[in-house]
Amino acid sequence: MPIKISQESMCVKGDYQSAVSKPHQLPIYATSSFEFEQIEQSIDIFTGKSNGHVYSRYGNPTVDTVAQKIADLEAYGTGLDAWGFLTSSGMSAISVMMYALLKAGDAILTQGDLYGGTNELFVKIMSKQNINTVIVDLSDLDAVEYQFSTNRNIRILYIESPANPTMKCLDIHALSKLAKKYGIISCVDNTFCTPLIQQPLSLGADIVLHSTTKYLNGHGNSIAGAIVGYDEKLKVQIYTGLKLIGATCNSWDAWLIYNGLKTLALRMERHSDNAMKLAMFLESHPKVSKVNYSGLKTSVYHELAKKQMKYFGGMLSFEMDGTMEAVLKMINKLQFCTMAPTLGDVDTLVLHPATSSHLNISKALRQEMGITDGLVRVSVGLEKVEDIIEDFNHALK
């Protein structure tokens, strides 16, 4: 027989759920914890005997649904049973994966032209835990194999392709195959491409990372990251790291990603089409000395990109002839495009890596990797492409 409660307690405890039909859109589960009907249910869930949610740092229906959707997109057509986790940012996705899988004395093999934040994480933070970073030209497979065969501390191969901001493409299939030969985990940052353009799991990679802040959300109103894989042992290790580090995504940001994913296919096609047209314009401009975009037939990465990408994406970079002062002046002359330190939004975003995203990377390494003072990165948006081109044409003049 149910006990009778007071009106005052009803204010606190009353929980009337009137919904009887399935919601058309994913609900936002804005709750920190979940109730148990009996203590036995709690024990079964905590011990893993049955599935269920207990605490939103461990898992949340909104967050888990979106994470699995991204995993399904990455694994589409591969036959792999992929899993996914959402984190609080793209950087936390990298951090969680590294700290979950590595220990003191281990090493990461990667490239020099990484996103500046990733480079700083490896060099300035992870090195303090005696997790070392080895930088090599990942397009030189002999050099990669030499490192694998002589440095047995290497546990993770970390790949960014296309690289940020040089747009260098790497052979994901060949690198992943080589990593497997030596029992090394291969991980690919797929933020620039999304699974609609490139599927690293299908190319042999073990783990795929995203800053969902970028194209997966696509609207500049959510910050989160994603980790996707298919190996169950890695899943357990990463989940343990995620829930204990506490870098979990919240249900609101997950829901915003969910909405963004609905238009992902349409957006990536338009981003790519506009980027190709802008790249062709810039390549023909007398004040532009180099355009980095694999869609151009003049790009040294064109054939590789055709092999592992469905189309060429919305990111490009270019170098201007002249001094840094001239480059910054050109950027200031832009009227239609937006200066902002992000990418993947619906509008065109312009960034000068040497004074922003890669400011804290040594100039010597920047120059060596092609991240010059004259390099400008462009995240090409969905606007009418003639307007984008006219803005750059005016600014370059």
Assign domain 39-261 one CATH number from 3.30.420.480, 3.40.50.740, 3.40.640.10, 3.30.460.30: 3.40.640.10
Residue ranges per structural domain of the chain: 39-261, 264-396
Cα 247 to chain center, whole Å?
15
CA distance 363 to 343: 23
Q: Does the structure show a pLDDT above 70 at 20?
A: no
Q: What pLDDT is recorded for position 82?
A: 98
Give the tens place of pLDDT for each residue, 298-337.
999 999 999 999 999 999 999 998 788 999 999 999 999 9
Confidence (pLDDT) at 41: 87
Token couple for 43: 């024990």
Of 29, 64, 113, 115, which is the active-site residue? 115
Is residue 16 pLDDT above 70, yes or no? no
Q: Which residue of the set 57, 180, 235, 243 is catalytic?
A: 57
Question: What integer best gives the mean pLDDT of the chain?
Answer: 94
Q: Does residue 384 surpass a pLDDT of 90? A: yes
Residue 369, pLDDT above cutoff 80: no
Catalytic residue among 69, 214, 267, 366: 214
| pTM, to two decimals | 0.94
Active site residue 64: no
Give the model confidence (pLDDT) of 58-68 as tens digits.
999 999 999 99
Place of tokens 């064109």: 302
Give 90's contacts (C-beta < 8 A, 6+ positions apart): 191, 209, 210, 211, 212, 213, 214, 224, 225
| Range in 53-57, 74-78, 288-292 with the lowest mean pLDDT | 53-57
* Active-site annotation holds for 293: no
Q: What is the pLDDT of residue 356?
A: 75
pLDDT band at 74 (very low <50, low <70, confident <90, very high): very high
What tokens does 308 get?
């592992």
C-beta of residue 373 within 8 angstroms of C-beta of residue 354: yes
From the list 103, 58, 55, the residue with the least C-alpha distance to 242 is 58
Give the pLDDT of residue 81.
Answer: 98
Residue with tokens 């840094």: 324
Under DSSP, is residue 4 helix (H, G, I), strand (E, B) or coil? coil
Same fold for the pair 39-261 and 264-396: no
Catalytic pick from 189, 253, 345, 373? 189
Q: What is the pLDDT of residues 133-180, one digit of tens each?
A: 999 999 999 999 999 999 999 999 999 999 999 999 999 999 999 999
Quick check: is 181 catalytic?
Answer: no
Tokens of 203: 């190319």
Q: Does the structural domain 264-396 have CATH classification 3.40.50.2020?
A: no
In the block, residue with structure tokens 């990484």: 114
189 is known as an active-site residue: yes
Q: Which of 9-23, 89-103, 119-133, 225-239 shows the lowest per-residue confidence on average (mean pLDDT)?
A: 9-23
Better-predicted residue by pLDDT, 168 or 363: 168
Angstrom distance (rounded) from CA 339 to CA 325: 16
pLDDT of residue 354: 85
* Residue 375 vs residues 129, 327, 366: alpha-carbon distances, Å: 33, 8, 11
Tell me which residue has tokens 């397009």: 139
% residues pLDDT > 70 (the chain)? 97
| Average pLDDT rounded to a whole number, residues 190-207 | 98
In this structure, the strands spanning 315-320 and 375-379 are antiparallel
